[in-house]
Amino acid sequence: MTAVASHRFDALFEPRGVIVAGASSHPGKFGFVALHNILRHEYGGAVFATNREGGEILGVTACTSIDDLPASAADLVFVCTPAAANVELMRACAKKGVGAAFVTSAGYGEAGEEGRRAERELVELAEELGMLLVGPNGQGVVSTPVSLCAQIVAPYPPRGRIAIVSQSGNFVSSFQNYAVQTGVGVSRAVSAGNAAAVTVPDFLEYYAADPETSVALAYVEGVVDGRAFYEQVRRVAERKPLVLLKGGRTGGGQRAAASHTGALASDERVFEGMCRQAGVTLAGSVEEAFEAAATFATQPLPRGPRVAVLTTAGGWGVVTADAVVRSELELAPLPDDLRTVIDAKLPPRWSRNNPIDLAGAETRDTIPEVLELAAGHDDIDAVVYLGLGIQSNQARLMRTGPFFPDHGLERIVAYHERQDERFARAAADVSLATGKPVLTATELAVTDPDNAGPRTVRATGRLCYPSSNRAVIALEHLWRYARYGMRRARA
Amino acid sequence: MTRTLSEAESKRVLAGHGVPVLDERLAATPDEAVAAADGLGYPVVVKACGAGIAHKTERGLVRLGLADATAVRSAAADVLAAVDASDGPVELLIAPMVRGTRELIAGLHDDPQFGRCVMVGLGGILAEAVGDVAFRLVPVEPVDVDEMLEELGAQAILGEFRGEPPVERAALGEVLLGLSHFAESDPAVVAVDVNPLVVVDGRPVAVDALVEVAE
């Protein structure tokens, strides 16, 4: 099918009002949960509900028929009715000026020949009515700019710049759970369900044009028309980064083939090649996909591959340097002039190389100063900073122990926490000032998210990476995307 | 239905799209094989060549390093004796014996989802077991080709190697661009295997090749 015109998605993502069709008073039913979630997150538009018996649900008076609703008051109908009721429902909604239907109902393409027939009928009806049909068998849609949480699952993510689409509704939840945890937010999210009419790449094309979105994140399994998919994702990646998570990557590798080339052409290898050719970055796991998207959403693109690692302790730096060397990034040779200026600030036990290992020799202002010097150097394209939060971790032991606040503990605890806050802010400030990525990694991001270090990273709107390896992999996604653009712009 | 071209015909077609091949001669008899070898200079290779011939090495239909006319005559007779009516028309292909430590593979594949793709990777008999390959969809641009080569795990193979000069990436890239162009110019092409694509003095040359076309 041809791509869906962008403006038709406005009814889905920026509706003036929403109708929950098949609203229920039973809190276990989808028709209740959907209405609850819309009201719970204070969607600003009008909210309507229909129910065969009428009545009041969560303070909303349910109509027994769409015909009783005012015209042009709702752009989106959220369909929780049984499949058999949906043809009549959509016709009635179209008369009221509804432009989009999100269909949660099951019993369609996933349910045998009869279901496939009903799905085709639904798609044809939507085309006839000029209505955007999403699903069926989908879990919902989220649009944070208008506080819309029309879904039958949790959570509702913080507002942000990542736009999500998934062939599997549960991955929408997974990605949004990470958004809640990390604080790196979401603009739009949609579960494409059976994607009978609007497909995953259709949504991606909308995201490419969406001013609320700076990176698209998608989960795909089957691709119906590979060439069309390639053309669409390539167009998307020309405008914005696109991170893909692909299910079923290892299947089909052993297909019988007469030629060596054919035998080597596993689905995974061809898909990976297609992604690289399209400028799409392919992630190997759910967390990698989210973290790559979160990095695109919150860090500038690197202008080159040269990474400096700044650490307060040796082992972390060594492991991180190994990860950089394994990646498509490069460990920058420490520039001589940078070595000289750092020499002037530190006793000689620091590493005098990259990783820049301060070896515990840092004083009050060393970390912000070295961050600034490293990121500011022309021969360094990105910085990974390790060791944030160690002092606050010790402060926590003091604060929660029996000697606090006496023996000078109150003062030192406050000092440590203040310092980690400063360092986290410095990482963000230096990144903004230099236009280079500065990634902060510590396991405290997950082991003690309230630690002043990771807490402050979140407050700057950035991701605190749970390990340096994960930071390096996320940065590698940015570099691949940046390099793709640089090479083609020159060509 | 598809049909495979003979090795000689496959190479002729590929050479037309810029894939470097050796100066090779066809011969029908051991005498003609010797004449061809005399013309090429020794040592040479003698192979069975026909549209129905596959798995040449496994069947003993490739004889390498033949140093003189006697060796060629005897190898040619052996090869002709080893084929039978089920192989269809068979000729002898006489080729110069090239020396190169590094064997690559290049090809075209018709993917059920994405259509025709270009491939490059580590070749030779271990190609499938090693699986160090990169794919792109037809058509490919020069920048895609550069990135395919960069993507291969065994970068050391492309550099200076055991006393041999580095692989000329541009020349290797031309092979891949040529395959892409071949696919674009002929919708009937469904598969190409160039294996091995031997690196001789830094430049790739197709030592064996097979083209499969739809009928």
* Distance (Å) from the alpha carbon of A272 to chain B's nearest alpha carbon: 8
Q: What is the DSSP letter of A451?
A: S
Average pLDDT over residues A346-356: 94
Nearest alpha-carbon partner for A387 in A470, A482, A316? A316
User: What is the pLDDT, as a whole number, of residue A178?
Assistant: 98
The count of CB pairs under 8 A between chains A and B is 89
Q: Contact, A207 vs A232, CB < 8 A? A: no
Distance from CA of B201 to the nearest CA of A (A): 25
A251 contacts: CB under 8 Å, gap ≥ 6: A267
Chain A CB within 8 Å of residue B141 CB: yes
Q: Is the dihedral of CA A426, A432, A436, A437 positive or negative?
A: positive
Chain B (172-201) residues lying within 8 Å, Cβ to Cβ, of chain A: 191-193, 195
Q: Give the model's pLDDT for residue A230.
A: 97
Statement: residue B114 has pLDDT above 80: yes
Spell out which residues of chain A touch residue B117, defining contact as CB-CB under 8 Å.
Answer: 265, 270, 273
Contacts of A258 in chain B (CB under 8 A): 4, 54, 191, 212
How many other CB atoms are there within 10 angstroms of residue B153's CB atom?
Answer: 13
Interchain proximity A226–B193, CB inside 8 Å: no
C-alpha span between A39 and A208 (Å, rounded) = 29
What whole-number percentage of chain A has pLDDT above 70?
97
- pLDDT at residue A2 above 70? no
Inform me whether the C-beta atom of residue B44 falls under 8 Å from chain A C-beta atoms: no
Cβ-contact A195, A180 below 8 angstroms: no
How far, in whole angstroms, is CA A446 from its chain's centroid? 18
| H-run or E-run covering B47 | strand B44-49
Q: Are strands B189-200 and B203-206 parallel, antiparallel or unpaired?
A: antiparallel
Q: So what's the pLDDT on residue A258?
A: 64
Q: What pLDDT sits at residue A409? A: 97
Q: Residue B98 CB: number of other CB atoms within 10 A?
A: 15
**A227 lies within 8 A of chain B by CB:** yes
Q: Which pLDDT band holds residue A249 (cuts at 50, 70, 90)?
A: low
The tokens for A128 are 């006839």
Rounded-to-integer distance, Cα A239 and Cα A260, Å: 37
- Say if residue B180's pLDDT is above 70: yes
Q: Which helix (H) or strand (E) holds A245?
A: strand A242-246
A369-391 pLDDT tens trace: 999 999 999 999 999 999 999 99
For residues A242-255, one letter each, b for 16 or more C-beta atoms within 10 angstroms of the residue's C-beta and e for the rest, the string is: bbbbbeebeeeeee
CA angle, B69 then B71 then B77, to 5°: 100
Q: How confident is the model at residue A254 (pLDDT cuts 50, 70, 90)?
A: very low
Q: Are strands B2-4 and B209-214 parallel, antiparallel or unpaired?
A: antiparallel
Six-digit token pair at A422?
């400063």
Q: Which residue has the higher pLDDT, A470 or A167?
A: A470
Nearest to B136 among A223, A257, A273 (CB): A273
Res. A6 pLDDT band, cuts 50 70 90: confident
User: What burial class does residue A235 get, using C-beta atoms within 10 Å of its C-beta: 0-12 exposed, 13-18 middle, 19+ buried?
Assistant: middle
pLDDT bucket at A490, cuts 50 / 70 / 90:
low
Mean pLDDT of chain A: 94
Distance CA A75, CA A98 (A): 4
Nearest CA in chain B to A328: B151
Cα A91 to chain centroid distance, Å, stands at 35
ipTM (interface predicted TM): 0.94
**Residues of chain A neighbouring B207 (CB-CB closer than 8 A):** none
Band of residue B159 on the pLDDT scale cut at 50, 70, 90: very high
Lowest mean pLDDT among A20-34, A38-52, B55-69: B55-69
According to DSSP, the β-strands at B25-27 and B91-96 are: antiparallel
Check CB contact of A230 with chain B, cutoff 8 Å. Answer: yes
Q: Are B134 and B112 in contact (CB under 8 A)?
A: no
Return the number of other C-beta atoms located less than 10 Å from residue B99's C-beta: 10
Q: Above pLDDT 90, what percent of chain A?
A: 89
| Cβ–Cβ contact B139 with A under 8 A | no
Tokens of A117: 């027939």
B 69-128 residues inside an 8 A Cβ radius of A: 105, 107-109, 111, 113-115, 117, 119, 121, 123, 127-128
Instruction: Give the E-state strand segments of A51-146 in sequence order.
Output: 56-57, 60-61, 76-79, 100-103, 132-134, 140-143
Q: How close does chain A come to B70, measured CA to CA in Å? A: 34
d(CA A293, CA A215): 6
User: Which residues touch A56 (CB under 8 Å, ≥6 apart)?
Assistant: A62
- Torsions phi, psi for A164 (to 5 deg): -115, 140
pLDDT at residue B85, as a whole number: 86
pLDDT at A111: 87
Domains, chain B, with CATH or none? 23-96 (3.30.1490.20), 103-214 (3.30.470.20)
Which of B114, B119, B192 is opposite residue A264, by nearest beta carbon? B119
Q: Min CA distance, A252 vs chain B (Å)? A: 11
Mean pLDDT of chain B: 94
pLDDT tens, residue by residue, A210-241? 999 999 999 998 888 999 999 999 999 999 99
* Residue-level pLDDT at B56: 81
- DSSP SS3 for A361: coil
Domains of chain A: 1-146 (3.40.50.720), 153-298 (3.40.50.261), 301-485 (3.40.50.261)
Measure the CA–CA gap between A66 and A97, rounded to whole angstroms: 11
Q: pLDDT, tens digit, for every residue of B32-79?
A: 999 999 999 999 999 999 988 877 878 889 999 999 999 999 999 999
Of residues A151, A148, A132, the one with CA closest to residue A140:
A151
Looking at residue A239, its pLDDT comes to 96
- Chain A residues closer than 8 Å to B212 by CB: 258-259
Mean pLDDT value across residues A80-87? 96
